[in-house]
Each structure stands twice: as C-alpha cells, then as structure tokens.
Structure 1
Amino acid sequence: MTDERTPEPTTMGATDASTGARAQAEASAAPVEDTEDALPRRAPWTLQRKLIVTVVGITSFIMVLVAVATSAILGQVLEQQLDAEVKAEQQSVNYMRPLLANGLTAEQILEEQPRQPGYFLAVQSLPGDASAAVVDQNGEVVALTDDQIAEISGSVQGQRGQLVVTIDDLGTYRIEGVSFGGTTIIVGLSRAGITETLTRMLITIGLLTAGGLLLLAVATAWTIRRGLAPLRAVADTAARVSALQLDQGEVSIAERVPVRQADPRTEVGRVGAALNTLLDHVDESLTARQRNEERMRSFVADASHELRTPLASIRGYSELSLTALSRGQATALETTEASLERIQAQSLRMTSLVEDLLLLARLDEGQELVYGTVDLTRLAIDAVGDVTPTGPDHEWVLEVGDEPVLIAGDAGRLHQVAANLLANARTHTPAGTTVTVSVSRNGKDAILRVHDDGPGIDPSLEDELFERFSRADRSRARQTGGTGLGLSIARAIVDAHGGSIRVASKPGDTTFEVRLPARPADPVAN
C-alpha cells in the first residue's frame, strides 16, 4: 500500500518517513519470520522409525566390527599356517641337490618333481644365472620371465627370513630362501588360498548379516508397533475426548483407553492407565460441576421465591396505604398503621432470610466461628429450657450425665444447632409428642441426640433434608412458615467444627444425631 501523503520538503521529514517505512516493513516481516521458524522444514521421524534405525544401525556396526575382527584373526592364523608350510618346504630342499648337480632349471626341477598348486621355486647357481617357475592352479608348471625374476631378485635382495612378493599375472607368494654350495634356492607358496578363504568368509558374513538385519528390522518393527499400540490408543482416546463439548450442559466422558492397553504393569501401559484415571477424575469433576450448577440454579430459584413473597406483600401494603392517603379516607390512619406493621413483619422475614444466607456463605468460607471451651451438657440444658415455653403441648425430656462433656467450639453457633433441631421437632410433630434430648461421649466423639416419637420422615426426603430451602416434608404437618434453611445451617455449622450430622427416621422413631470431636479446649479465633 502506497503512502499518498505529501512529503515534507525538509530532509528530516524524508528521513523520518523512510525510517517509519523501514520500521513498518520490519514489523510486517517479523511475523512471517516467526511463522517460518515455527513450521518444521521437514516432517520429523516417528519414534518407531528412530528405534528401528537405531537398533539396526548399532547391530550393523557391531556385525561389521565382528566381521573385521574375525577376518583379521582368521587371516593371521592362515598366515601363520602358511609360514609353517613355507618353513617346512624350505627345510626339505635337500631332494633338489642331485637335480641341481645336473644343472636343471627351476622349471625342469618342478617337472621332474611335481609339487602342489601354488608352489614357487627359484634357483640361482651363478650370478646372473637364475631361473624360476610356479605351479598354477591347474597343476601346470609356468616359467617366470626374466623381468619377473629381476623383480623378485630386487625384492629379496638384502632381506632375510620370509617375504611376501607379488608377481605380475601370477598373484602374491610367501617365499623364503636357503643357500648351500654357492647355490641359492627360494621356495614359496601362493597366498591365493588365504585370500579366497577370507573372501568366502566375508561374503558369507555379509549375506548372513544382511539377512539377519532384515529379519531384525522386521521383528523390531513388529515389536515396537505392538509395544507402542497403547500410546496410539492413548492418542486416539485423547483426540476423541478433545472433540467432545465440555463447556456447557450435562457432560459425561465415556471414552477410555482399552483395558488390555492400559496395563499398569508395563511402562507404556501406565500411560494409558494414567489417562483413564485422569478421565475418571475429569468425568467426576464435570458431574460434580453439573450437580453444583443445578443446585445453584435451584438455590437461586428458591431464594428468589422466598424473597418474592415478602416483596410483593410490601409493595401491596405500600400501594394500599398510598391509595388510602390519596383519597383522604377517614380510616386512612388505621389502614396505614396496619400496612406498616405488615411491611415491618415482611421486612423482618427478608432480613432473617438474608442473614441466614450470609451465615451459610461465611460458614462455607470457614468464617463466623469463634472457638472456645463449650460444655455440651450445659448447652443442651439451655436449649431445652428455651424451647419448653414455646412448645407447651410437647413433652420435653432431658437425658444428660453428671459429668460435663467439654469440647472446643463456637458456643453461639452450637447453641443455634441445638435450637434449630428442637424447633424442627416442635414445628413438624403433632401435639403430645415426646422429644428427648441426650448428651453422651463415645470415644473421641461428643454426641448430641434429639429424638422424637412423631410420625417420622418420608424416606425419599432424607437425602435432601439438609439441603437449602428443603421444606417438602409430606410426613410432618407444617405449623408455621420458615425459610427452609434451618437444617442446612445446622449442617454447615457442624461441618465447620469437623463433625457430622445425620438423621434416622421411621414412624414413631426419629433421631437427629450430631457428632463433634471431643478434643481439648484450645481457643482459636477464626
């Protein structure tokens, strides 16, 4: 894109423009370079290919080293054996004395006394008078030319012991000379046998190595492929899980790595087992999240319902009072006074509800507790004394021991628990019901029980009895209104103290049991 702005006439303006254009070009080019650096230039090797190449490469290197070492050792053994044979031939030249006395050449001697193929013989009786011949692979005697003899003479001149010489067109020989009576005799044997043996051995090793490496590659590929099958199953399972919609709605992760590929006794199988464990945990967490969301929606709906009734009442009475005042009715003062009383009652009801909700929220956060020494026996006595005047049509029984049951807790909140349980028994049982409050100690637990012989609780409601706004009680007649938060507050307080609360109910026998740790008093302000 071109810049259509009119350039400044000064040099500085031109410099700034060029600098800005260069900076813009560098800025626009930077992401391209980052993108190119991020992309691989070629596809990376798979783990299977790396393992196969590594195993086959190392094995090939070892086989080559074995072949070289074997060839060297075998060659050395064959050379020593050939040395011994040459030494034996050198020591058996006495048979040539009569032939040499007759002036026979090396070729004639070998024809008179045939030797093994590859045998070399050179004879020099006088300076400059030398002859040499070899027995070829067909057993025929081949005389050496003067040039070949001269080349051999130049090689052995001034040398002692066995030597290795190469004769053109005839190969390499190991030779050794001996002199007697002014005559020099050189005998030797061809090294073609050693070369042929080593060649055959190397070819055999090469063919066996190639076949073995091919078989090794196939076996390694098969083994690795089967060994990595759990990893592929893990990748496939993770890919399927990643395609699921987990952000909303009811979610259930049913995908798992097959059991046969998630054996924790193997290294790779542990990966599959770990993924299955992770998916189980995620599935449980998502289920809990969904359950919490449903509970929260229900909680909001219940709270809205509880607040809507008093708000509607307040609005109605306010409108009634305003209407009466605007019309100037004679009874306006009386109507307004009654409306304000109802408005105050509904306000107090909303205040109680909001305070209960605030208390639950603070208890969930671990607040609102002030620890101290609490006598659970005295607490039960006070709670029964408080509820007796409000429930004169019930029979209240107190069963406590002579010794106090001391615990560490928040006395005010624990008294609220006892008061809620007793109020619940008074409200939801008919007149004449006997309510028994007992305090005892069992090992490390202090136990508070509230028992009544009323009609009992519907078993289908026991699981949700301690839920917030739970008031669907079809077994107990509801005498008065309430927020439905009493038992949920009691459970929250008991849980905050590290205890538990449960209910067991059947017709004529309902018991709420609160268990609290009977630990020594150690006041801690929370």
Structure 2
Amino acid sequence: MSGPLRRTRARRWSLQTRLIVAVVSFVALILVMVGLATGTILRSMMVENLDAQVRAAADRLHVMPTSTAADALSGPQDAGTLLVVSSSFTGESAAYVAEDGTVVALSSDEVTTLIGKLRRPDPQGWVNARVPGLGDYRLRLAGAGGNTAYAVGMPTSELTLMVTQILTTVSLLTLGGLLVLASVIAFVIRRALAPLRAVADTATRVAAMPLSSGEVTITERVPAHESDASDEIGRVGAALNTLLDHVDSSLSARQRNEDRMRAFVADASHELRTPLAAIRGYSELSLRALRIAGPRPTKAVLAAGTAQSEQGLERIQAASLRMTTLVEDLLLLARLDEGKELVYGAVDLTRIVIEAAADAQAAGPDHAWQVEAVEDPVVVAGDEARLHQVVANLLTNARIHTPGGTRVTAAVEREGSEAVIRVHDNGPGIDPAVADELFERFSRADTSRARQTGGSGLGLSIVKAIVSAHAGTIEVFSEPGSTTFEVRLPARPAEPATNDLSAA
C-alpha cells in the first residue's frame, strides 16, 4: 500500500446530543426496571390467583379409586379444568372440561406424555406442563387414598395473555414517554445552552479579528440576554464580556504606549541628534581653526583660534550635558522599576520644599513663588535626593507650563499618618486631552520639540515612579485657573529639627 495511512477520527457528539442521550438512556433504564418489576409482581399475583382456582377445582372434585378422569369431571366444573388420574383399578386417564361444558378425554399417548411430566413436581406439588392441543397448564398433585393419585390443573393462557398485554402496554407507554421526554429535554437543553452557543459564536468572531498590530477595537460582545449572571452558563457569557473588556482596554493601552514610544523615539532622536550635531560641528570648527593656524601661528591667529576652540569646547560640553541628563533619566526609571536606586533615611520634607522653592525662584523670577509650611518638621522615611527631585520636578513643571506672573505655591503638612506635599498654581490648567495620561512615560502636554516647553516627557513619570517607590500616591486636580499636584507619603514621628527652616 503506497501513501501515508490516515486515520479518520470519529466526530464527537455535541454536548446537547450527549446530554439528551444520557438523560433518555437513564430514564429508559429506570422505566424498563420498573416495568420488569411490575410485570414480575403482577405475574406472581396472578399465579397465586390461578393456584387458588386450582385448589378450588380440586376441592369440588370427588375422585374415587374406581373413577376415571372423565367420571370425576362429570359434575359442574369450570371450563378448562384438567384432571389426570392414575389408579390401580382404572389405570391412567385424563380429561378436561371444554368451553361448552362437555368433558373431553385425552388419548392414551397424551396421557402418557402428561403423566411423565407429572413425575417431576416442585416441593409443594406444583407442575407447569404443556398439554398437546390444549396449551400450557398449571397442575397440582393430590391423592385419593390407596393406590390412586390424581392431579388437577387450570390453563395458564389467560395469565399469559394478561401479562403479555400488560408488558405490551408498559412498553408502548415507555417508548412514547421516552419520545416525549427526548423532545422536552432537547427543547430545554437547547434553550439552556443558547448562552453557551452565543459565547462560542462571539469567541469565534473575535478569534477571526486581526489583533496583532495596529489600532484594534473589540466591539463583539455576548448579547445581554445571553449573559445573565444568575445561572452558571450565563456567568460564562458575563465572564467572556468582562474578559473582552479587559482585552479591549489592554489593546488600547498597548496602542497608546506604542504611539507614545514612537513619539518618544522621535523626541529622543531629536534631542540626541541636536547635541550630537553640535558636538560634531564645533569639533570640526576647532580642528579647522587649528589647521588654519598652521605650524607657526602668529599671536593674533593663535589668540583667535584659542578663543574659537574655547567656545567650541563650551558648546560641546553643554551638548554632552543635555545627552547625559536624558540618559540618566531613562536609567533612573529603569532602576526604580527594578526596586533599586533608593537610599532610605529620615527626610525633612519641610526643608526640601523650602530649598526647592528657593531654587525655582532663582530659575523663574517672573513667577510669584510662595511656601506654606507648618512649624514642626514633617519627616518621612525615604531617599532625600529623590524626594528633592520630586518637589523640584513639580515646581519646574509649574514654571515651564504657566505664563509669567503665575503664582506658584508649595505647601507641606501632616494629615494623620501621611505627609502631604501640594504644588498649586493659578495658571491656565491642564488640557483634558492629556489629563488621564499625565503620569505616563513619554507623555507630553506640548507635542512640539521645543527645548523650552517640549521636554522629553519623562519628568512627571519620574515623579510618579519615585513616589510609588516610597509607597506613596500622587494625584492632580486641575481646572482653568487652578492646578494642584498632591503627593502623599507615609509619615513618621518628627525628630528634633536641627536645620534652619527659614524661608529663602
């Protein structure tokens, strides 16, 4: 045989078919067992009734040692009564009462066959035997004294007919009941599994959607009437809808992160390209000045070259500092994500706020700066340098994104077990379009790449990372004319202050 052998796997039944088959089979088994038990009990009762008829017939007979079976049946007897007599006087004989009341004697061969069957009775003297030409009989052995014995019997045809009718009726009713049950069960199960089919259809449609790249929105959901959480199958639909909501929001967040990453790459490329171009340009300018001076430059040429080289080196240094700042910010975020970079100690937030406000006032003299601090120091456990960076970044953010003349207030206080730092300004407020993404990395309120206002989009993300590393929270509340950044950190009991906390 050439070619690979392929095995065809039998198709599995559907869940609905399996449930119907299982329920109907189980009920059918129960009904069959009930039918068999009922038939057995009814047959036993009818056999007892037939035995009573046989005894009554035997009581009505007067079998004498000299009587034959036909003589003994000459009196009034029920139709079908069978008598078999074995006597030393008259020999073996048998007769029965016909439907018209006449007594019919059996032939010698029939008698011999019947006598042979009567020789094997049960312990109570009962024998079930088939009489040729008459059918099945139930006989009971008795004796008339001396050397005479006889057996009286009644036909079992009526019993057999009644039991057959009962079993037939039960079988037909069982079959009809099973068909009705199968129809009802199929309807009920189909209705019950409708939410599950809706879940499968929804999952199939979602699986066919391209989700690997690009802006993706999952609009497919299990219908509301198929996702009722009041039952188990409905909870599957509700769970799938919840899962799809999470996946949809995750895909949207992924797309936003990708967009931010692209913007950041463009910004970082611009930020790094500018200083790199400056370094290259000024280094080439310095080299050109040295080449022009020649091996024996005059004093004037040497002085001009020296001045030009010094200016170029200053520009190179400034450009390298800009690159260093950007790289250090990225490195800081990476280390904070790894749980590193913090050196804990007792930190006086009041002193940090005052010092940061003094630095901000020097950097932005066209703004109005104000410090609100309580008399007692507000102390937390944390990294002093990083917490100073938090306050400085918030004040710098307020200075850069508000026009001159804006009042900026830095406040620090203790509320219960928390230390609270608030930076408030009465500037134009935050654009609602970026309010939800303000603390995300690479988020920029100004999409331009201006050095004065554009920034790298890492300042507030660094603030959030540092605050989170200190088990704190940061929130922003903004509306036109009022913006407040609120930082909350776990406070510790204040230690005796030894620093000068006077306002700058």
Instruction: After the TM superposition, list the runs of 4 or more consecutive aligned residues in structure 1 that deviate by more than 6 angstroms.
Output: 477-481
Residues 124 and 481 of structure 1: CA distance in aligned 2, closer, same or farther (over 3 Å): closer
Q: For residue 486 of structure 2, what is the amino acid of its counterpart? A: E
Does residue 264 in structure 1 map to residue 229 in structure 2? yes
- 1:175–1:189: 8 Å Cα contact kept in structure 2? no
Q: Which moved more, 1:420-429 or 1:249-258?
A: 420-429
The Cα of 1:446 is off from its aligned counterpart by 1.0
| TM-score, normalised with respect to structure 1 | 0.79
CA distance in 2, matches of 1:191, 1:460: 97
2:356: which partner in 1?
Answer: 383
The Cα of 1:464 is off from its aligned counterpart by 5.3
Q: For residue 229 of structure 2, what is the amino acid of its counterpart? A: P
Residues 252 and 45 of structure 1: CA distance in aligned 2, closer, same or farther (over 3 Å): same
- 1:90–1:178: 8 Å Cα contact kept in structure 2? no
Query: 1:418-437 counterparts in 2 under 5 A?
Result: 418-427=391-400, 433-437=406-410
Residues 506 and 293 of structure 1: CA distance in aligned 2, closer, same or farther (over 3 Å): closer
Does residue 136 in structure 1 map to residue 104 in structure 2? no
The Cα of 1:126 is off from its aligned counterpart by 4.9
Residues 389 and 298 of structure 1: CA distance in aligned 2, closer, same or farther (over 3 Å): closer
1:82: which partner in 2?
Answer: 50
Residue of structure 1 aligned with 2:89, choices 114, 123, 127:
127
Q: Deviations over 1:192-213 (max 9, x none)?
A: 2211111111111222222222
1:49: which partner in 2?
Answer: 17
2:127: which partner in 1?
Answer: 163
The Cα of 1:49 is off from its aligned counterpart by 3.3
1:189: which partner in 2?
Answer: 154
CA distance in 2, matches of 1:146, 1:166: 16
Does residue 472 in structure 1 map to residue 456 in structure 2? no
- 1:119–1:134: 8 Å Cα contact kept in structure 2? yes
- 2:424–2:485: 8 Å Cα contact kept in structure 1? yes
CA distance in 1, matches of 2:461, 2:215: 26
Count of residue correspondences: 480
Q: Which moved more, 1:481-490 or 1:71-80?
A: 481-490
- 1:165–1:175: 8 Å Cα contact kept in structure 2? no
Residues 508 and 269 of structure 1: CA distance in aligned 2, closer, same or farther (over 3 Å): closer
Q: Deviations over 1:264-297 (max 9, x none)?
A: 3323333333322322222222121111111111
Does residue 92 in structure 1 map to residue 60 in structure 2? yes
CA distance in 2, matches of 1:164, 1:183: 21
1:25: which partner in 2?
Answer: none
Residues 61 and 520 of structure 1: CA distance in aligned 2, closer, same or farther (over 3 Å): farther
Q: Which runs of 5+ in 1 are unaligned?
A: 1-28, 522-526
Q: For residue 370 of structure 2, what is the amino acid of its counterpart? A: V
Give 3-state SS (helix, strand or coil) of 1:518's partner: strand
Residue of structure 1 aligned with 2:371, choices 398, 406, 410:
398
Identity %: 55
The Cα of 1:249 is off from its aligned counterpart by 0.6
Q: Which moved more, 1:233-242 or 1:45-54?
A: 45-54
Residues 355 and 434 of structure 1: CA distance in aligned 2, closer, same or farther (over 3 Å): same
Cα RMSD (Å)? 3.5
Residues 252 and 187 of structure 1: CA distance in aligned 2, closer, same or farther (over 3 Å): same
Residue of structure 1 aligned with 2:204, choices 232, 236, 239:
239
Q: Which runs of 5+ in 2 are unaligned?
A: 295-300, 495-504
Query: 1:328-407 counterparts in 2 under 5 A?
Result: 328=293, 330=301, 331-391=304-364, 394-407=367-380
Does residue 145 in structure 1 map to residue 107 in structure 2? yes
- 2:61–2:72: 8 Å Cα contact kept in structure 1? no
Q: Deviations over 1:94-125 (max 9, x none)?
A: 4x77xx99x7x544665x54532211134566
- 2:364–2:399: 8 Å Cα contact kept in structure 1? yes
Q: For residue 166 of structure 1, what is the amino acid of its counterpart? A: R
The Cα of 1:145 is off from its aligned counterpart by 0.5
Q: Which moved more, 1:158-167 or 1:51-60?
A: 158-167
1:412: which partner in 2?
Answer: 385
- 1:405–1:446: 8 Å Cα contact kept in structure 2? yes
Does residue 118 in structure 1 map to residue 83 in structure 2? no
Give 3-state SS (helix, strand or coil) of 2:423's partner: strand
Residue of structure 2 aligned with 1:216, choices 159, 181, 192:
181
